[in-house]
Amino acid sequence: MWNLLLLWLVLAVPGGPPTGSIAGTIELPTNVKITKPAQIVLFSGEYVDFYQAEVQKRVDTYWEDYKPAFIQEKEAFVLFRERAKVQAFELTLNRMRMDDPRKAAGFILTSSNGSFEFHGVPHGECRVVARITVGNQELILSETVILTDEAPPLVILKPTTP
């Protein structure tokens, strides 16, 4: 009898926090072509904050180290900001893989056509981040998403202008 009651309790209790799906596309100007498949990653929970903090830390460091050059040539700052995003992306991705390789595998995709879909995403704040290569330059496109019980969001990643 106790086994039956225990089985009923296990089946009756929901299995963890609520999850949902996120789908989207990468949208680039018509004259821009991606030269390698895009790597698209979903950062959720602590990884959102970690990624954003790493980007900011690197941008601040570059600013302090190269401020006179950036004041003279503003375009250089844009390049270093992209470099900071790429470095933070790699660091966060590596941390995610080390913490839980199986879970990370479900949140890392490669896409040749620019479309993506993630399932089993925990509700709350997430950040979809794509690393694309245009010519020989790596760019990071990202969008913050708040996942709730409502209809799954459609995310459109596109370049931002400085």
**Do the strands 19-26 and 154-157 form a parallel or antiparallel pair, or are they unpaired?**
parallel
CA distance 125 to 47: 10
pLDDT at 3: 54
DSSP state of 45: T
pLDDT at 2: 53
pLDDT (tens digit per residue) in 109-132: 999 999 999 999 999 999 999 999
> What is 28-55 written as a DSSP string?
--TT---SSPEEEEEEETHHHHHHHHHH
CA distance 159 to 33: 13
What pTM was estimated for this model as a whole? 0.84
CA distance 153 to 128: 12
Structure tokens, 91:
């660091």
CA distance 20 to 60: 35
CA distance 58 to 21: 31
